Structure 1
């Protein structure tokens, strides 16, 4: 199996290209960083389970995040209805379940949905701004001090946030603004941004150039498996135990992730002996400068252009992934009268199809058929484009709701959009630059939710009555640009020497 070669430590080859002698070129059997700690932990076994390290952490944290995603939106709707608008409790209960009642008119629904969408936008801003600042310094710092501690800190932040959510649940008369306080611990510990940065940097450091795409596919599978599982279980727990039951379950799942990170992830902080003071090294402005230099410095064979193009494509991919999260539930409520159970079922099927798509395209496409990374990315992005168009123009009545399932079928390969991009990025850059480049990527992607939340929420609020699917048309435009990048990469690979080495 492919994992048999992943941990055979060999000596990295140095590029002899003129003017590019500082670049380390990984051959197809060489890890970018010799993974001695992981090798010891895995007993050098051929069994694929021996190389499973961070994937369970990602699954558990994604499960926890999506466990409360729709439920937290329902909590905003409930607080807005009861506290802000001072409507009867029975009427508000019907509103959260999307059940018709005399007190809840269509105008009231639109007003509540608009306020809820704004609160989601505020939460995105709170969680993203500090993450940008923190993650700017973490790339080069983690290259020196290891990545285990970042997994631990990230999980701890989510645990504190979920604990605050439990507390706020038992204070039902507080205004919806107070619910935003729970976002602060996640914001100051890095949240999703640091989780992504650490995960992809870790995989890049312990995998070979040949097998990196498949390792990234495993990581994406963990993300997409956690999404439907968490969404589905969240709806079930909410139906039986309410908001408190969901948030208490989230605490338990996150504690499992924290314990696993402490026990299972190898401690590689000793990699560099004299790495300096923790805080001094963390807020090292020279390292921050190195991060930007690594991305934008002039390189031979148009490497800088391709690095920037790939980073832009990753950001657009994040826009299409996270932007609709702020309005898709509200969209299905408005178009088809769905409640959280029906929407959760759609998300569950979407996650299962995405996992199947990742398996088919990674093992069937990349491994067996030897598809180039750019071809795999083109297939995935074109499927997402078709899905966006279906959602944009779906008729607004219950009988047409099956088209939402057609849309998620089209985008079943969507989980593979970012995999080939990250793989190609890691093959262009040298091993000692990866932490810095992935830091820049993570920072850029942490800015994306802010703009995505504002952009998609504003579009949905502005067009809900005239063209509810307008936000999906925006996603279609972004996916067209991503597909164009993959197509350009494929058709110019023979003319660009740098591209011949990234497949």
Structure 2
């Protein structure tokens, strides 16, 4: 009996020893791959070109999708004639616009909510999965989803010759984006990738550069869109959505062939695809994010995650109605709006670059103070917009100057999170972050549409008071 117990103890000891050896080998493999990529980043850019293509494609179609939904709402829901409906894309036809805008904004909000809700759930599984099986798949698959989205929009415009094609059909085009992770999983994988390929000291600067690339692609996309419409002679929608599909295809190819993996995939796992939605992954997120451990300040991390989630809620809420707001209050066309947004994004880019190099690299100011500065400028800019008279639309160009450092709130917040989280849990915590950034806007962003529709004719600027109240709350959190 004693011999049997001794043999059993020996086997258990050997088994545990082998498990520990396997874990050590796996840990060493991850470290080697991560160090290799870090060495490469000294000479080469990593995911920035890929991200540039993704976001330029997104911004080319952004305003055009709003215009398309308004056009189809006018023609096929309210049944105005084509000449009246086409005129609302050029100037503000006040009575028609007042009818069309609330319905169109509801559809656009529905598209935003649907494209984020499913990815918000899948992100909880994909973050821990990517810590084991690699980030690359989570970068490339959303690009393919955006490609399908652009192709569907392209075909939708082609088939819009079908009489009475209801504008609600546009909701179907967002399905590929929702099923492939969309921007939710793309951004989670991107920030995890940046953390894999940078040291703690470099991280704030790297995230700022990443945000600057997004800003630059936004400027390019927003400027290209009205230019294409102007020279297309009536075929603007077809060309824009077709071009978006081509750019997304380039992004997917670029991501697949040129992005180096930072985590060595576990090739021994034959079921790694079917294990994507293993409930054990949720358990790993729980242990990584909610259990008390050394070098992990949960309170700070959760407060920063909350602030980032509220920030995204404001951005999504405003984006659903801001273009409509400028049309109804300032009688702006798509060209007017594009020029203003481009100017604002240019100033945002300058603020990101100046802030990252001056505040973060040289002065080494604490990320908390940088975040507070960013949110103060954002609140002041919204306060300024609120009181601009309808006959002084050019004053909107000062908004970008007021919030020139507003873009630093994201990099500062994400850098703070990465500094308070163990490296092995980065993917899991950023998954929880992106999930929170998606779930909260689903609840808050529609409030902007409801408030805007309710105050459309009396005081359309009311939406910005909602933004100000959220920014003040975030400032209190950081302070």
After TM superposition, is the score higher than 0.5?
yes
Query: Within the alignment, does 1:157 sit opposite 2:148 as a pair?
Result: no
Q: In the alignment, which residue of structure 2 is the partner of 1:451?
A: 443
Output the CA distance in 2 between the equivalents of 1:342 and 1:480: 30
Alpha-carbon distance, 1:294 to partner? 2.1
Output the CA distance in 1 between the equivalents of 2:385 and 2:32: 43
Output the CA distance in 2 between the equivalents of 1:248 and 1:349: 26
Q: In the alignment, which residue of structure 2 is the partner of 1:66?
A: 59
State which structure, 1 or 2, has the greater radius of gyration over its C-alpha atoms. Answer: 2
Shift in alpha-carbon separation, 1:302–1:426, aligned structure 2, 3 A? closer
State the SS of the aligned residue for 2:159. coil
Alpha-carbon distance, 1:177 to partner? 1.1
Per-residue CA shift, 1:413-461, capped at 9, x if unaligned? 1211011111111111101111111000011112233224311111111
Alpha-carbon distance, 1:361 to partner? 0.5
Q: In the alignment, which residue of structure 1 is the partner of 2:418?
A: 426
List structure 1 runs of 4+ shifted beyond 6 angstroms: none
Q: In the alignment, which residue of structure 1 is the partner of 2:180?
A: 189
Q: Is the 8 A contact 2:102 2:453 kept in 1?
A: yes
Q: Is the 8 A contact 2:125 2:282 kept in 1?
A: yes
The match for 1:472 among 455, 464, 474 is 464
Q: In the alignment, which residue of structure 1 is the partner of 2:154?
A: 166
Q: Is the 8 A contact 1:221 1:355 kept in 2?
A: yes
Q: In the alignment, which residue of structure 1 is the partner of 2:121?
A: 133
Mapping of residues 94-493 of structure 1, within 5 Å = 94-99=87-92, 104=93, 106-172=94-160, 173=163, 174-241=165-232, 242-268=236-262, 270-299=264-293, 303-397=297-391, 400-486=392-478, 488=479
Normalised by the length of structure 1, the TM-score is 0.85
Shift in alpha-carbon separation, 1:342–1:269, aligned structure 2, 3 A? same
Q: How many residues align?
A: 444
Output the CA distance in 2 between the equivalents of 1:118 and 1:65: 20
Output the CA distance in 2 between the equivalents of 1:302 and 1:257: 36
Output the CA distance in 1 between the equivalents of 2:98 and 2:107: 14
Per-residue CA shift, 1:182-201, capped at 9, x if unaligned? 10000100001011101001
Per-residue CA shift, 1:41-91, capped at 9, x if unaligned? x3x7x54xx1x1111111111111111111001001110111111111111
Q: Is the 8 A contact 1:159 1:255 kept in 2?
A: yes
Normalised by the length of structure 2, the TM-score is 0.89
State the SS of the aligned residue for 2:273. helix
Output the CA distance in 2 between the equivalents of 1:452 and 1:352: 28
Q: In the alignment, which residue of structure 2 is the partner of 1:35?
A: 34
Output the CA distance in 2 between the equivalents of 1:202 and 1:292: 21
Cα root mean square deviation, aligned: 1.9
Q: Give structure 2 stretches of 5+ with no counterpart.
A: 1-29
Q: Give structure 1 stretches of 5+ with no counterpart.
A: 1-30, 489-503
Per-residue CA shift, 1:261-320, capped at 9, x if unaligned? 012101356344534512332111111122133222235698111111011011011122
State the SS of the aligned residue for 1:327. helix
State the SS of the aligned residue for 1:270. coil
Q: In the alignment, which residue of structure 1 is the partner of 2:6?
A: none
Q: Which structure has more helix as a fraction of its residues?
A: 2
Per-residue CA shift, 1:5-27, capped at 9, x if unaligned? xxxxxxxxxxxxxxxxxxxxxxx
